[in-house]
Structure 1
Amino acid sequence: MFPYYQPTETELLICDLYQTLNINHPHEIDIDLISALWGADIVYYDGRAKSYWEDLGSVIFLNKDDPPEKQRVVFFHELCHIVKHEGHQDVLPGLFVELQETQAYHFMLFASMPYYLLPDPLEMIWSEYIGLLAEEFHVSLEVAAARAEQIIARLDEEYYYHRNDIALTKSKIKIALSVHRFGRKKLSQESEHMLRQLDNQVCSF
């Protein structure tokens, strides 16, 4: 957990709901259990992922041939539409659909890797931390890296209150993301030097 990270109201809601289900470890995040909490059924079929929500019930359709990691991420994306949205996207204005999709993306990151279950990054470089997120929460490295970027954004909001402690954290995340995305060969000499320094440091928060 991050001492200077302030979770959003949506994150806090997710954490409260998960704790009512006695979810205390990442491996206990079960999509069938969570869908039942929201009164939604999961259907695996041959088509593209989608969701329908009505007063009488909700259904999330997942492609049965997708790997489990993708099914998991898509499930949480579609769950956001059921939990937070109204109306059908086929008849909504384009900008409104874009807003819903952005909200669903962030919800997916919150729900697949909830704040209160994030592992302690102490004594770990950030490239290792991203790998740990992917392994423990059963998501891809790309999704884990996106959660790391989301953490940076939240830390930015608290930066001026805890500037010195957060600066090192942000640097480590950004360099780790650069390594993940572009490979070490494309890093600047300055980033290489900073990465070597940070690899030998223990995160001080």
Structure 2
Amino acid sequence: MYPYTPTPLEQSIERLFQAMEIAEPHQLDPEAIAHRLSIWVHYAPFSSQAIDRSGLQSIVLDNRLSKQEQWQDFGHELCHLLHHAGNQLAMGESFIRFQETKAMNFAYQFCIPTFMLLKTELPRLEAEAVTTISGTFGVTPEFARERLKRHYRQVTSNRLAEKLTAFFHAEEIVKRTEGIDYIVPTGRSKMLFCRERGVIGYMRDRDESE
């Protein structure tokens, strides 16, 4: 398991599962989760939807879908109940799209929680990793593939942030040690400037072709 800084959404989902004492993928069952959250689950031959009538919350899952698709829909509709309010029929189209985008992102994070994904040993080949995620978390291969892509993007973002933090930390150490107040980019070099002594030197940028 590599160092990883979770996003606020990932943290909130992990806390939600911790509150329900769910720590492993085999515990990801929509009916059991709904029961712990006091949400009714129904099955009917129409598109899945979330219903909140005066605090009585229900999720209707399309019974024509596979178990994997129902689990994915459950994550999507749960977001509407936990984070959204109001009747979409009375909302503007742009706000509906905003809610649907958030619900879609939530579903990817909820159905395949990051804290569980980080503990899952994934094969190097993408196709094999997708198969592993699909089987482990009970989602379709398409859903697993998109989740994997999003996860890799976040991992890359994390590593870039770590490198930038390390760079700026190292720069601050140099500035304090050498009595430098400012490091100012000037073309292919950086000017080292001290408020008391003025320009005290230049530092050549590393040539990327070297």
TM interval, shorter chain, is 0.7 to 0.9
What is aligned with 1:74?
73
Q: TM-score, normalised by structure 1?
A: 0.72
Q: Following the alignment from structure 1 to structure 2, what is the Cα–Cα distance between the partners of residues 110 and 123? A: 20
Evaluate the alpha carbon distance shift between residue 40 and residue 90 of structure 1 in structure 2; reply closer, same or farther with a 3 A threshold.
same
Scaled by the length of structure 2, the TM-score of the pair is: 0.71
Q: Which runs of 5+ in 1 are unaligned?
A: 164-205
Alpha carbons 2:122, 2:132 under 8 Å: kept: no
Is the counterpart of residue 24 in structure 1 residue 23 in structure 2? Answer: yes
- Contact 2:123/2:129 (<8 A) preserved: no
Q: Give 3-state SS (helix, strand or coil) of 1:87's partner.
A: coil
1:159 Cα deviation from its structure 2 partner: 4.0
Aligned alpha-carbon RMSD (Å): 1.8
Deviation, structure 1 residue 123: 5.8
Corresponding residue of 1:200: none
Q: Does 1:102 align with 2:101?
A: yes
Rounded to whole Å, the distance in 2 between the matches of 1:86 and 1:57 is: 13
Give 1:153-168 correspondences, 5 Å limit.
153-162=153-162
Rounded to whole Å, the distance in 2 between the matches of 1:83 and 1:125 is 36
Aligned CA distance change for structure 1 residues 83 and 2 (closer, same or farther; 3 Å): farther
The one-character-per-residue Cα deviations of 1:144-186 (angstroms, maximum 9, x if unpaired) are 01111211332343242356xxxxxxxxxxxxxxxxxxxxxxx
Q: Post-superposition shift, 1:66? A: 1.3
1:161 alignment partner, SS class? helix
Alignment of 1:49-60 (within 5 A): 49-60=48-59
Identity %: 26
Largest Rg, 1 or 2 = 2
The match for 2:134 is 134
Gaps of 5+ in 2: 164-210
Which residue of 1 is the match for residue 148 of structure 2?
148
Relative to its length, the structure with more strand (as a share) is 2
Cα distance in structure 1, aligned partners of 2:76 and 2:2 = 24
